[in-house]
Amino acid sequence: MCSFLVADGVPCLMYNFRASSNTISLIIPEVGQVIVEEYKDGVTTCPTTPEEWTPIGEVFRNRWNIPHAVGALDDKHVAIRKPRKSDSLYQNYKGFFSVVPMALVEGVYKFLWMDISGYGQMSDAQIFNELCLEDGSIGLKTGA
């Protein structure tokens, strides 16, 4: 099984599908564009005002009996091969190398937002603190 890294992915795809790197480099953007075109109408945009967050909060309160919530936020370590010249940046606390995507999901299982910049060595709190959630760009205020 191949790990998901651009540097390692192309050679892996070359061997799995018996195609040259030139062919792979032409196919990947084309497939990506087809996926975007196919699913663009089903994309949910992340709310940016308190008024847009209100119906999402209603779902959490009515469906899940969780008042004052507007999303479920979590991350997952995804195993990768150690990138060249990365030292221990991608090595997590369990000893393997990983990237850490973090996502915010609304009450009916739709992704509102996702970030894929987390390194394996980062904790949940470190990833969260580096995100732009507290700068007001998504229309939520933290604290009292």
7-23 tens-digit pLDDT: 444 566 677 777 777 77
Q: Rounded distance, CA 68 to CA 45, Å?
A: 21
CA 44/CA 96 separation, integer angstroms: 33
Q: Which two tokens stand for residue 46?
A: 């992340």
Taking only the tens place, the pLDDT of each residue in 52-105 is: 899 999 999 999 999 989 889 888 888 888 888 778 888 888 888 888 888 888
State yes or no: pLDDT of 137 exceeds 90. no
Q: Tokens in use for 2?
A: 């191949």
pLDDT number for residue 67: 92
